[in-house]
Amino acid sequence: MAGKGKVAIAVTAVKLGVKYGPQVWVATQAVREPVKEAVGKAMSSEKARRSALAHAKSLAEGSILKVYKGDASHWVVFSADEPVTVYPPTDMPLSTLLERADLTKRIRADEKVKPTDRAKDAATAALRRGKPNQVN
């Protein structure tokens, strides 16, 4: 009776699917549009970040800064300390976008900007400090 346990699991899965399947279907239909919208915002922000970073790499002392206009994120490109442009384009002036922004949080074009690279750098720095279990 080697396969008896697997059959019992399959039967239980089918019973649960029949019982809760319609509820799961209704729930997925209810959250489909908000999830699509959230994924679309994240994808457009990432596309704008990549465009801004490519532009900043072509400038002398190029850097980028993430700012928000309402609930939309925008990336401002800097050449040295002067704002040049914004991705995605907006009708708001750059001075208004940068009004309350913290300019010390700019990302240099030559820095490592992937989250995995930043995590590796933080782990390496923690090891140098002699605290291998504390990564900040």
- 46 vs 51: CA distance, rounded Å: 9
Q: Is the pLDDT of residue 124 over 60?
A: yes
**In sequence order, what are the beta bridge partners of 73?**
68
The whole-number pLDDT of residue 27 equals: 84
- 30 vs 124: CA distance, rounded Å: 44
Q: How many structural domains compose the chain? A: 1
- 12 vs 23: CA distance, rounded Å: 17
Per the domain annotation, does 118 fall within a domain?
no
Residue-number span of the structural domain to which 97 is assigned: 4-109
Q: Is the pLDDT of residue 1 over 70?
A: no
Encode pLDDT of 22-79 as tens digits: 888 888 888 888 889 889 888 988 899 999 999 999 988 899 999 988 888 899 999 9
> Whole-model pTM?
0.62
The whole-number pLDDT of residue 112 equals: 63
Per the domain annotation, does 57 fall within a domain?
yes
Q: Is the pLDDT of residue 105 over 80?
A: yes
